[in-house]
Homo-oligomer: A and B are copies of this chain.
Amino acid sequence: MTPATARASTKGEETRALILAAAVEQASAAGFESLTIGGLAERTGLSKSGLFAHFGSRLELQMAALDEAARRFTEQVFLPAFRAPRGLRRLEALFDAWFEWPRRARLPGGCPIDAATREYDHRPGPMREAVLDRQRHLERELAKTVQLAIDTGELDPQADADEVAFALMGLILAYYRAQATLGDAAAEKRARAGFDRLIAQYRPR
């Protein structure tokens, strides 16, 4: 690759990253169905043909925005957790980062993947399938993190990892709902208290 091609490719990647950042921000606030090639062109100040050079269709843009949201979620939530030692400390780090991620990722509209799950709930098609795949993957990862804390002996060996993960997911959903939707200032305190109580309950006797 000559330096000129390398620069061109870098420039192309930068433009793509810029478009996707704008798309994820918009999806967080108004949903993935609000994304259009024309709208994103306006938002980013690029030409529609410039956008079509990166995304051949609206669906391709939506899919890429979902991938980008998932990539950022992994980066902001799972990577910090994986830096903590496996077991209870990793589970705590995961829960903390999960809470803070819409804020840390500067997504004032809240978690875009959570929003997408609701958005495509009754809207069959490739976006719905992609969102559900992400959600199932996420649940498996959450259950695996719980299982590690069982394996280290920090949680009761009799505990059912899927059941613990289910209750944790509930606290996260209730937190997103109370905090972002209802603007409830006590939401974080209640969610953290819920986490502590849940974990206390599964400590080995």
Contact = CB atoms under 8 A, between A and B. Distances in A.
A64 interface: no
Please indicate which of the listed interface residues A162, A166, A175 has the most CB atoms of chain B within 10 Å of its own CB: A166
Interface in A165-198: 166-167, 169-175, 177-178, 180-182, 186-187, 190-191, 193-194, 197-198
A166 B175 CA distance: 8
Interface residues of A, number: 41
Nearest to A189: B163
A170 to B, nearest CB: 3
Copies in the complex: 2
Please indicate which of the listed interface residues A110, A121, A173 has the most CB atoms of chain B within 10 Å of its own CB: A121
Contact of A163 (B31, B121, B182, B193): B193
A167 B162 contact: no
Nearest to A201: B201
A80 B160 CA distance: 32
A171 to B, nearest CB: 5
Contact of A115 (B118, B186, B187, B198): B118
A197 to B, nearest CB: 6
Interface of A: 29-31, 109-110, 115, 117-119, 121-122, 132, 135-136, 139, 160, 162-163, 166-167, 169-175, 177-178, 180-182, 186-187, 190-191, 193-194, 197-198, 201
15 contacts: A30-B122, A110-B122, A115-B121, A118-B118, A121-B181, A132-B181, A163-B190, A166-B187, A167-B167, A169-B170, A170-B172, A170-B173, A170-B174, A170-B194, A201-B201
